[in-house]
Structure 1
């Protein structure tokens, strides 16, 4: 089941293969890929594979990757047609789903990643009944660490993977 979510400032909708061009452009932005893909430029096919996996995850588990858009401040409640960012959960074999998010660089500092991810976590914890999600973040990525900690995620460990220091986080629903 796909789910459209709303926050005070954002509208979130599941990402589809029709979004490939816009998502690939966002994911190949040097400021986004620096930490998301270990500074590797993702091919269009790899981006397509990610979106296909997300679509399958929505069908199988009810979650995947959402795109978020700024909502207009007027009474119409419409939204911008430009993607402001992405957030969601990716299935990881033998572990809890992993949180992933990113915001278009000109919109950094507005709290959109936290707002969108908070809406998704509420949905997966309280509507889908997940009992835990995890995240890993590059240690130098202080902005994403701030988002994770602002969401109430707690550190669970640290490792160096491919010469990159990673921090691990987890979150459970509050009861």
Structure 2
């Protein structure tokens, strides 16, 4: 069973294939794709493949990509889990990508017009609490483009520790890791 997560301001639910167009719209916004996909505009098929992998990951590991929505907007609409009103756009996404023989990798993003409100930190903290407390994961990792100072601040607020730096595809990447507190 996939888990719906709640925070004070957000509701997070697992992504589904029905979210394809909305997710692709967010992922192809220039400010989002700049760091998330190295400025590559994902095709509809690539976005579909990503969502399918998330769906499989939820089924196999209990984690994947959660979409998050502002609870205040959901309460106004009366929707609970699957917002269907087109005016209720995705606020952002947080989740883990399964990596063979490696700890899962944290990924997150927020609609650019909502940056600076703490949603990325709030949503990723909820995901990490769930995967550490409920699923018993032992470690989560993340990589971030070095110029992406906003995402670096999110990782630092989550108390992730920088573990390395590398140049990948001519771009400086920083690597982070987090283990649950005992």
TM-score (norm 1): 0.96
Within 5 Å, which residues of 2 pair with 1:18-57?
18-57=18-57
Question: Separation in 1 of the partners of 2:153 and 2:100?
Answer: 26
Residue deviations 1:18-63, cap 9 Å, x none? 0000000000000000000000000000000000000000000000
- Residue 78 of structure 1 and its aligned partner are, at CA, apart by 5.2
Please point out which of 87, 108, 111 is paired with 1:104: 111
Question: Separation in 2 of the partners of 1:30 and 1:61?
Answer: 31
User: Which segments of 5 or more consecutive residues in structure 1 lack a partner in the other structure?
Assistant: none
Please point out which of 142, 148, 153 is paired with 1:141: 148
RMSD: 1.6
* Aligned residue in 2 for 1:118: 125
Q: Where has structure 1 moved over 6 Å in runs of 4 or more?
A: 73-77
Question: Separation in 2 of the partners of 1:116 and 1:100?
Answer: 11
User: Which segments of 5 or more consecutive residues in structure 2 lack a partner in the other structure?
Assistant: none
Question: How many residue pairs were aligned?
Answer: 175
1:114/1:58 Cα in 2 relative to 1: closer, same or farther (>3 Å)? same
In the alignment, does 2:144 pair up with 1:131?
no
* Aligned residue in 1 for 2:68: 68
In the alignment, does 2:90 pair up with 1:83?
yes
